[in-house]
Amino acid sequence: MSPTIHICDQDFIDDYAAEGRVFFTRVLGMDFDKCLLTDDSSLSDFSFSGQPEGTLPKDATLNECYDAWDRWVLSEIERHYGIRGIKTSIRLLTLFEQIRQDSNRLFN
């Protein structure tokens, strides 16, 4: 019998596709529609995505690389969206909801 692969629910992630497409392009340099995203996907699932070459410390340990990416991506989120005080373990649904709410406040 072949092993079964279970994918988390995708009930709500599509509700935030507009925010996701912009975020993935601006911050991660990725195509949202070509990624497997679920309602439980987190920002840290995409570690090292979008980070410019040469921004990692030379001869860095894996943990130092993760720390450098965390600092970089959080600064990009603050730069593009003005969002501070989050961690890279944030679920993308939560992040996209915050982006939507902040955007609605600006335009209402």
**How many alpha carbons fall within 13 Å on the CB side of residue 47?**
15
Prediction pTM value: 0.86
With tokens 């939560």, the residue in question is 94
| pLDDT over 60 (residue 108) | no
For residue 13, the Cα-to-chain-centroid distance in whole angstroms is 12
18-32 pLDDT, tens per residue? 999 999 999 999 999
Closest CA to 90 of 40, 28, 55: 40
**Eight-state DSSP code of residue 34:** G
Average pLDDT over residues 68-75: 94
38-55 pLDDT, tens per residue? 999 999 999 988 888 887
For residue 72, the Cα-to-chain-centroid distance in whole angstroms is 12
User: 45 near 13, Cβ under 8 Å?
Assistant: no
